[in-house]
Structure 1
């Protein structure tokens, strides 16, 4: 790293702080703070959604997988893109009409009130662990590039994100995410990929020199691909940080189309990251730690100045996901726990103050956990496993099975969570089966409890039916 690269990265951090301050001037109401006033157009919505789903794990992880497995390294981020497309094409129209703030609020409306509390706790833990992972990633990059201690690096990176997130909530996150989306796109697609291919004398030469296993789209293994589907494709559908971005769109059409475009962008991002990793396989054949593939490749092929810009793009990916996750965790706690049990009929000012205080505390916890643990990839898998295994089935049944009773959703989430945790304990923290066990337990619980304990008056109905249809069905029952 040369002085110019260091200046560029520090200047970029300063721009983010300034953008956060500008965004804070727009947060006048609690809805502005949590959902940017539900007022984002297509470009801003697409940029924000893409920035939050493609974090540091997507950038660093895909290049690592490309180094190890070749083109089949695309499956990790591709499943994230598939999840966003599923959300956009199947669920968004139904979700948008409800005007809720969190996934827990929706589940609380459909099932009993305790369901809202339980799902809020599960989802808040998940979003917190995502934030922890991103802070660790920021700390690692800053430590390597600027030479600061790992603790100082995490404090600086996490502190910047926490500062602008507290100031303006979703508006600050939106303004900074647009900047981060542009920097990510330029850094990966217009600098790293062309220069990586140039370093190996073109795509044709790359394909001719790679081992045949690196050109197999299923080289990573069908079991691993299926695990990515369970963790990330289904996880995206029930992730609060993703839902919160969906709620910021000005219309359901923008939310739907923007989600589809973000999914397609994710597929392109997956291919780009895998190509960088495959080029590194030839340029750096004796790399000790594949986790460092992206950083080592950048240090090897990029000139001074450009290097600072590209590494700033990696920090962008980390910061956008971290800020969205912090705000999502804070919103869950404020909206579904504090507002329901501790703040009776709060004003907008009280809600904003509570949100800022909660965001501050969640941020401190995230930074503390990052410094303490320093490796939470396994914990992140556990969080995704619980989220997919425990929340996905009750959410789907919310929209597509009208006979689910209020109690069935609550017990389905509770039983599924216990089953997933037990499965992870007995089969290992990276096992796929516990997710399937949890989903199966949830389906059996919600159907069994509904059919065997419901009275006709408990028959509920999907949210998109009007009140006359509801009343007519109750009379017939």
Structure 2
């Protein structure tokens, strides 16, 4: 059965485009100044923050790559996406870092910690990160929609059309339009994650038909034979926990809520929603693997699996809804990234190096225009890459190397700019060297392997410690001011002696700050009371991890 793209599908997509663009433009009335545009005036409730955490963290390349991977390798490939499952509880602990910084971008946080030049260095990386990430998600959506529409629209054509769509409301509405539009689009992403499963199971003869069609190892939760064992999962988790701290949209994800707790809930449980729907993507891959065997066809590119299933299983109208949902997944992330790209250029480059003391109106329009230009570069990268999975892991990996600087600077007061720069450079150089030796040629985007990544991270952290100990420390006044800010609850409006009250007084002290101080008596005074918010939220998040693992394991037992 092959369903053609019909006028009804076009109508559904048109309704989606008109509705979401109109809604986004309607929200632009809330944008009065640059802070509204870049941070939404830190006014989002926990539900909008959850939607941001889910929508901005869920891109078209995620389900394209995951469905393709499980189609090719089996369910255990879920760990390419679930690499962050076991570290999601740590999001509860790190989310307040960004709100307490009182900054608009991660680049400004790096500048406060290591100095102005390091802030510029990070900002250049962050802009490149957004370009690469946008390219990967645009390519992912293009691949799916192209095959779902029977090539009525080319992959590159989808890339162009989608870019124009999310630019329209993001350009004027900034993070306000992006966040509220993402709340709507989040429901559509959930729809696309489960829509194919019941139809696909029926088409391949039920669960029995899937079991007969595929090898037994396709139904394992772990698969060392496929290179997805404990070491790979550990390296993927390390990639996630270090890399997430340096991802440049973390301020918008964690610091734009009306309270610190809203930011914690949004980043942690928005991520858990993504981990849940990932199960749907993985099972969709198994269904497609059985479907192509039944139909006697061959997919040259595994990453076409999701698009193939969409075209084969969905009827007119539903096919259009699926395409609209794919667009929603992409536009929610791309819109957030676009606004953050503009914030980085405006706050860290334009304001710091091009024009001193600009007016708020100049900042607002600089953000809009720079985000437009830099998003265009993301389109160019989308036209360059071929493998969505490798591009996805590439962006996560380069963030992890930069994360050595960010994470290390938070958990160790003695980290300095010399150690930070050497950590980043040495990890990048070793990573590319080891991959070059393995592949025999230089490439910008290598297939991700755990061994080069692990050695590179070890080198990076080693250089951070060694060089920081051997070189001049950061100015004490600068370091003390930076960490003092992180010890004070950002929610509080009360000001005493020019400062907000200490978070420890209300049970909101942060566990991960300056880990070496745990060897001092001072750190253990009133421990349960001081860290109540961190401890309770961390434990509760681990319960969610256990529930998701049990859910996946339980479903696999059916097979």
Normalising to structure 2: TM-score of the pair? 0.77
Instruction: State the alpha-carbon separation in 2 of the partners of residues 131 and 361 from structure 1.
Output: 13
Post-superposition shift, 1:41?
Answer: 0.9
Q: Residue 401 of structure 1 aligns with which residue? A: 412
1:158: which partner in 2? 163
Matches within 5 A, 1:282-301: 282-285=290-293, 286-288=297-299, 289-301=301-313
Structure 2 residue aligned with 1:173:
178
Q: Supply the RMSD in Å over aligned alpha carbons.
A: 2.8
Structure 2: distance between partners of 1:20 and 1:9: 16
Rounded to whole Å, the distance in 2 between the matches of 1:55 and 1:456 is 38
Residue 312 of structure 1 corresponds to 324
Q: Which stretch of the first structure deviates more once superposed, 130-139 or 343-352?
A: 130-139
Question: Following TM superposition, by how much is the alpha carbon of 1:388 offset from its aligned partner in structure 2, in angstroms?
Answer: 0.7
Going from structure 1 to structure 2, the CA distance change for 1:328 and 1:423 (only over 3 Å counts) comes to farther
CA spacing shift, 1:22–1:439, aligned 2, 3 Å: same
Whole-angstrom CA distance in 2 between matches of 1:139 and 1:4 = 20
| 1:60 and 2:64 are equivalent in the alignment | yes
2:11 pairs with one of 7, 30, 35 = 7
- Unaligned 5+ residue runs, structure 2? 440-445, 489-498, 503-516, 518-559
Once the two structures are TM-superposed, the CA of residue 205 in structure 1 deviates from its matched residue by 5.4
Alignment-derived partner of residue 380 in structure 2: 368
The match for 2:50 is 46
Unaligned runs of 5+ in 1: none
Structure 1 partner of 2:267: 259
36 and 441 in structure 1: CA distance in 2 versus 1, 3 angstrom threshold = same
1:396 and 1:192, CA in 2 relative to 1: closer, same or farther beyond 3 A? Answer: same
Q: Which residue of 2 aligns with 1:16?
A: 20
Match of 1:129 in 2: 132
How far residue 164 of structure 1 moved from its aligned partner, in angstroms, is 1.9
Separation of aligned partners in 2, 1:436 and 1:224 = 9
CA displacement at 1:450 relative to structure 2: 2.7
CA–CA distance in structure 2, aligned partners of residues 360 and 456 of structure 1:
36
How far off its partner does 1:340 sit? 0.9
8 Å CA contact 2:245, 2:407 repeated in 1: no
Cα-to-partner distance string for 1:179-223 (whole Å, 9 max, x where unaligned): 21111112323x222322333454465446542111111224226
Partner of 1:453: 471
Corresponding residue of 1:28 = 32
Q: Distance in 1 between matches of 2:12 and 2:345?
A: 37
Cα gap change, 1:261 to 1:178, in 2 (>3 Å): same
Secondary structure of the structure 2 residue equivalent to 1:169: helix
Alignment partner of 1:194 is 2:202: no
Deviation at 1:445, TM superposition (A): 2.8
1:443 aligns with 2:461: yes
Alpha-carbon distance, 1:332 to partner:
1.6
Task: Check the 8 A contact 1:104/1:119 in 2, yes or no.
Answer: yes
1:142, CA displacement in angstroms? Answer: 4.3
Measure, in 2, the Cα distance between the counterparts of 1:238 and 1:55: 18
Maintained 8 Å contact 2:68/2:305: yes
Number of matched residues? 467
Aligned-partner Cα distance in 2 for 1:243–1:423 = 33
Deviations 1:357-386 (A, max 9, x none): 101111222223334556675455444322
Note if contact 2:64-2:388 (Cα within 8 Å) is conserved in structure 1. no
Would you say 1:330 and 2:330 are equivalent positions? no
Counterparts of 1:335-374 in structure 2, within 5 Å, are: 335-371=347-383
With 408-417 and 445-454 compared, the bigger mean Cα shift is at 408-417
The 2-side partners of 1:368 and 1:455 are apart by 41
Q: Contact 1:66 / 1:275 at 8 angstroms: preserved in 2?
A: yes
Is this contact kept in 2: 1:84–1:236, CA < 8 A? no
Q: 2:258 aligns with which of 235, 247, 250?
A: 250
1:37, CA displacement in angstroms? 1.5
Confirm or deny: 8 A CA contact 1:132 1:376 kept in the other structure.
Answer: no
SS in 2 for 1:442: helix
Cα offset, 1:69, TM superposition: 2.1
Q: Deviations over 1:252-302 (max 9, x none)?
A: 111112222223212211211111111112222233232111111122222
* Equivalent residue number for residue 278 of structure 1: 286
Contact 2:98 2:254 (C-alpha < 8 Å) held by counterparts:
no
Partner residue, 1:95: 98
